[in-house]
Amino acid sequence: MATSPGFIPLPEPVTSGERSLEALLQQRRSVREYQEAGLDLSAIGQLLWAAQGITDPQGFRTAPSAGALYPLELYVVAGNVEGLSPGVYHYHPDKHRLQQTEPGDRRHILARAALAQPWVEAAAAVVVVTAVYDRTTGKYGERGIRYVHMEAGHAAQNLFLQAEALGLATLVVGAFDDAAIATALKLPADVQPLMLMPVARK
């Protein structure tokens, strides 16, 4: 992995909104057509916090995790985000900050790896949900794989609802070449990509 230039603090997450949870559930949809306008750093931070943010002094997060082992790692592939140069960023929930792991816009590479799905490249940024299975299978054995996938679903739904609250579009992309995604992001060997979530303005 490339040497990081340092950490990028994210704006403090907002914990109240104008729209009810029920309204967000009613309106949530998978959206594949986006505006060309970019995102700002506060939106990226809010989405990441919704998916995996820490909400308790004991380290508990927005999404439940079997045994509180937290196997998920989130990466952002930024292309059109104010305050972020194009590149790959790793989210660190403990300090609510990003760390650049690779420079350069890689949305087109992700799109190719995702069977040429055009919305992956068209989005302002792509949140990549990955997992370190050993964190959970070390305690629960093979059953832990199921628990990791359940947790990924929780995190994705949180991100979906937060995107809707912000007036943003997203969807879950599960069809892709795992090895190509791992190579594009230069993921550590024990980190496995699970899903892509392109994010943009509607």
Predicted confidence at residue 4, as pLDDT, reads 46
Residue 68 in any domain: the answer is yes
Res. 1: pLDDT tops 50? no
Alpha-carbon gap, residue 92 to 81, rounded angstroms: 18
Residue 53 in any domain: the answer is yes
State the residue for tokens 């997450």: 13
- Collapse the DSSP code of 165 into the 3-class scheme (helix H, G, I; strand E, B; otherwise coil) and give the result: helix
Reported as a pLDDT band with limits 50, 70 and 90, residue 5 is low
Q: How many domains does the chain have?
A: 1
Q: Are 34 and 21 in contact (CB under 8 A)?
A: no
The CATH number assigned to the domain holding 29 equals 3.40.109.10
Predicted confidence at residue 2, as pLDDT, reads 41
**Segment 59-85 mean pLDDT:** 97
Reported as a pLDDT band with limits 50, 70 and 90, residue 84 is very high
Residue 3 in any domain: the answer is no
**Segment 130-157 mean pLDDT:** 98
**Segment 12-26 mean pLDDT:** 95
Residue 9 in any domain: the answer is no
- Collapse the DSSP code of 113 into the 3-class scheme (helix H, G, I; strand E, B; otherwise coil) and give the result: helix
Alpha-carbon gap, residue 123 to 119, rounded angstroms: 6
Predicted confidence at residue 107, as pLDDT, reads 98
Identify which of 61, 41, 15 has the alpha carbon closest to the alpha carbon of residue 165.
15
Res. 66: pLDDT tops 50? yes
Alpha-carbon gap, residue 56 to 154, rounded angstroms: 18
Other beta carbons within 10 angstroms of residue 91's beta carbon come to: 23
Reported as a pLDDT band with limits 50, 70 and 90, residue 6 is confident
Residue 17 in any domain: the answer is no
Structural domain of 46: 23-201
Q: What is the DSSP string of 100-125?
A: EEEES--HHHHHHHTTT-HHHHHSSE
Alpha-carbon gap, residue 16 to 19, rounded angstroms: 9
Residue 71 in any domain: the answer is yes
Predicted confidence at residue 32, as pLDDT, reads 95
Res. 172: pLDDT tops 60? yes
